[in-house]
Amino acid sequence: MDSCSMSVRASPFDCLIFDLDDTLYPTNTGIGEALKKNIDLFLIEKFGFPENKASSLRVELFKKYGSSLAGLRALGHDISAEEYHGFVHGRLPYDLIKPDIQLRNLLLSIKQRKIIFTNSDLIHAMKVLDRLGVKDCFEQIICFETMNPNLPNSTRPDEFPVLLKPSLDAMKIALDAANVDPCRSLFLDDNARNIAAGKAMGLHTVLVGKTVKTEGADYALEVVNNLAQVIPEIWLGGMDGGDQRITRTKSELEAVLTTAAVGA
Ligand SMILES: [Mg+2]
């Protein structure tokens, strides 16, 4: 196939669904570490767990229930999501996240729908997107509140189990809220279990932050800013099928590739 026939092929994707934390910004910002510390502090201060046991409990709750909040509620502790998120996210050092112009240009060059799908609460998502300077690049934020609309009305902790990725129920709620066709959507996440769940839902999947694909991953991407190099077909064709659109899209792709090369 020559480059000409490549350029008139339509993109296989109508929509890109991005995880937020450790996907749109790298793990080494210090936010993830601060979050773990805050969760440990929450377990120590609110529940009196011994300091030397808090970290291992956090890891266990995350593995089994998806988050400490989900785990604590499943175990019968009546903690409100607001209280938990206020404690563990409210005091994060958000100034560690810097504006990412390269990411912004990349996102702006993608003409398809772009959606955030995060287990975090809406306030956290808005703060992070604002710090990165990409809030206006997304048409929708699917977050903790989207997957758990009834939680504020619960009268007992086991009434509405907390739903989060990678639960397939959570994935279903998100895909319904986004109103997307999974076969035409690209899902990017740094968590291998979320990627496997995405694949089970029929999504095309990109494992971010790794060089080796895990089960269910169609692509692996070390950093999100390498998207154009690894999945150039996102920019294929034009949604209106017109020649003008194809030319514009192609030159935008070249611009993104050039920026990426300079930034590398
Ligand atoms: Mg993540």
For residue 124, the CA-to-ligand 1 centroid distance in Å is 13
CA–centroid distance, residue 4 to ligand 1 (Å): 37
Distance 141 CA to ligand 1 centre (A): 14
Strands (E), the chain: 15-18, 113-117, 140-142, 185-189, 204-208, 219-221
What pLDDT sits at residue 259?
Answer: 53
pTM (predicted TM-score): 0.87
Predicted local distance difference test score (pLDDT) of residue 2 = 44
pLDDT at 238: 58
One digit per residue, the tens of pLDDT, for the chain of length 264 reads 444 444 468 999 999 999 999 999 998 999 999 999 999 999 999 989 999 999 999 999 999 998 999 999 999 999 999 999 999 999 999 999 999 999 999 999 999 999 999 999 999 999 999 999 999 999 999 999 999 999 999 999 989 999 999 999 999 999 999 999 999 999 999 999 999 999 999 999 999 999 999 999 999 999 999 999 999 999 998 544 444 444 445 555 566 555 544 443
User: Max alpha carbon distance in the chain (Å)?
Assistant: 66
Distance 17 CA to ligand 1 centre (A): 12
Q: Report pLDDT for 246.
A: 45
d(CA 173, CA 162): 13
| Cα(245) to centroid(ligand 1), Å | 33
In the prediction, which pLDDT does 235 show?
Answer: 97
CB contact set of 178 (below 8 Å; sequence gap of 6+): 15, 17, 115, 117, 140, 142, 185
Cα of 264 to ligand 1 centre, how many Å? 23
Closest by CA to 122, choosing from 139, 143, 137, is 143
Strand-pair partners of 113 = 15
pLDDT of residue 252: 59
Integer Cα distance of 229 and 211 in angstroms:
13
Report CA(184)–ligand 1 centroid distance (Å). 22
Residues with CB under 5 A from ligand 1 (ion): 19, 21-22, 190
Span from the CA of 18 to the centroid of ligand 1 (angstroms): 9
